[in-house]
A and B are shown apart, each in its own frame.
Chain A
Amino acid sequence: MSSRVIGQSRPSITAPHLRTDPWWTLPITVVIVLGSFLVYSTWAAFQNAHYFASPYLSPFYSPCLYRSCLHPSFGFGLPDIHLPIIGLLSPAFLILAGPGLFRLTCYYYRKAYYRSFWLAPPACAVPDVKRGYTGEDKFPLILQAFHRYTWYLAVLFIVMLTWDALLAFRFPNGFGIGVGTLVMGINVVCLAAYTFSCHSCRHVCGGYVNVFSKAPGRYRAWHFLTRLNERHPIYAWLSLFSVGLTDLYIRLVSMGIIRDLRII
């Protein structure tokens, strides 16, 4: 490339940016909301208690990995894992790694945390804070390319959480619907909307096709997922709130702080 177009003097404007609107409110809001969720989920994972209030199982502890799990779901029956110093490893850490990696590598959350936490850039037309920049070309950010694998994993979690939501209709005295049943149902709907509106899902289900007229099924799938994908950011936030609030609801019921109301 000709050096004529690179390295020439740009407009001599000394101010880093000329924006006059409150551009900083969005990154700060994201730091507060995402940071609060991270703190709460880490605290909840450390508890390894109050994750079950019959017939509800917290999504942070689903699927039941350990033999000691109280919920009658799949129950993988693994022996409890003890680590030096910290003792019993909460299964929530093993479980949350799956959906956590899905969100960490999600194209929408990448935008959110690159702007808010990495400040690269903090807002449009506001300069990057850090000088050296390698994008997603170098380790560890090159691993973002594996988002699709985390999507495959996230789909498995949707299947398991749907099963848990169905089990939430099975009370000790038979079929019933409680507020917790609705909470778990809404949570699965929000998580499924987030998972299936994913950009990787859209690509795998049809986006890679070039001649749609020869693949009508994949075209319809791609078309539907594209409509869903337009709302991916909303689903990302809704599902984040729903999963956190579902855990909180079940935790409070399990601790006896609130009582689960039976509707049927």
Chain B
Amino acid sequence: MAQFTMRVFRGDASGGGFKDYRVEPEEGMVVLDVIHRIQATQANDLACRWNCKAGKCGSCSAEVNGKPRLMCMTRMDLFQPGDTITVAPIRTFPLIRDLVTDVSYNYEKAKQVPPLRLKPPEPDGTYRMMQEDIDRIQEFHKCIECFLCQDVCHVIRDHEDKKRVFSGPRFFIKIASLDMHPLDTRDRSSFIQQDAGVGLCNITKCCTEVCPENIHITDNGIIPLKERMADSLDPIVWLLRKFRGPKSSQA
């Protein structure tokens, strides 16, 4: 197989730049394999975060030719022999070193999400849910927290000033999974609008495009949340709620 030029970002918080490495990949290799090859043969101090190499741990997030991807799921045969392939750290978060960034922002946002508030158990002391009640939220549970959606979201990526008031797509599906939970009774309206900042999302769907788990973040998570917020403006829904009661008692 012909050689590739891997243009890999090297540096830390004080600065850095791209450095070229010539690599001859073997059949079946992914970008993470090539990064490991460079680590083993040309740059022993190249920092890179990884764990499972199977697209399930969400550790090896990077930007390959400018597109947020998991390095372990990006096959080298996507590229033409002789191509120059750029590998950069995810640009939305502070750099620690080389391809490793500090994603603490996401853990801080996770702490803010109001947890489940369970309704009282059945008379026999148990909780019962049917499969159709939880099908919808199980899609959100596939999230591997690679934070590629957070990286590509232009609200966080291009507008640093919005980071304080915007949770980002990963946490919108977290919130949606709680808000749509059949046993939940908590009203998260003001949190969703004011603290999570769902109104800042202009649904350009980049989060959905980059999700390695193919979660329909926008269609099944963010838009339903926006619609739930719009319920408070809809007199027809308001009227129905008057008859059916609040969230805790309705179907």
Across the two chains, which residue of chain B brings its CB closest to A199?
B223
Across the two chains, which residue of chain B brings its CB closest to A118?
B202
Which B residues are CB-close (under 8 A) to A127?
154, 157-158
Across the two chains, which residue of chain B brings its CB closest to A232?
B219
Which A residues are CB-close (under 8 A) to B65?
18-21
Q: Do A115 and B203 touch across chains, with their CB atoms under 8 A apart?
A: no
Cβ contacts A11-53/B at 8 Å (1 or 0 each): 1110001111100000000000000000000000000000000
Q: How many B residues touch A, CB cutoff 8 Å? A: 74
Interface status of B45 (Cβ within 8 A of chain A): no
A33→B58 CA distance, assembly (Å): 38
Q: How many A residues touch B, CB cutoff 8 Å? A: 57
Q: Do B11 and A12 touch across chains, with their CB atoms under 8 A apart?
A: yes
Q: Do A133 and B233 touch across chains, with their CB atoms under 8 A apart?
A: no
Q: Do B202 and A208 touch across chains, with their CB atoms under 8 A apart?
A: no
Q: Do B154 and A121 touch across chains, with their CB atoms under 8 A apart?
A: yes
Q: Give the distance to chain A from B156, nearest Cβ to Cβ, in Å.
A: 10
A229→B101 CA distance, assembly (Å): 37
Interface status of B19 (Cβ within 8 A of chain A): no
Which A residues are CB-close (under 8 A) to B94?
5, 8-10
A254→B144 CA distance, assembly (Å): 59
Q: Do B91 and A11 touch across chains, with their CB atoms under 8 A apart?
A: yes
Interface status of B40 (Cβ within 8 A of chain A): no
Which B residues are CB-close (under 8 A) to A83?
none
Interface status of A209 (Cβ within 8 A of chain B): yes
Interface status of B22 (Cβ within 8 A of chain A): no
Across the two chains, which residue of chain A brings its CB closest to B162?
A133
A115→B206 CA distance, assembly (Å): 10
State the B residues within 8 Å of A (CB).
9, 11, 13-17, 63, 65-68, 86, 88-89, 91-95, 101-102, 104-105, 108-109, 112, 129-130, 132-133, 136, 152, 154-155, 157-160, 162-164, 180-182, 184, 197, 199-206, 209-210, 218-219, 223-224, 226-231, 233-234, 236-237, 247, 250-251
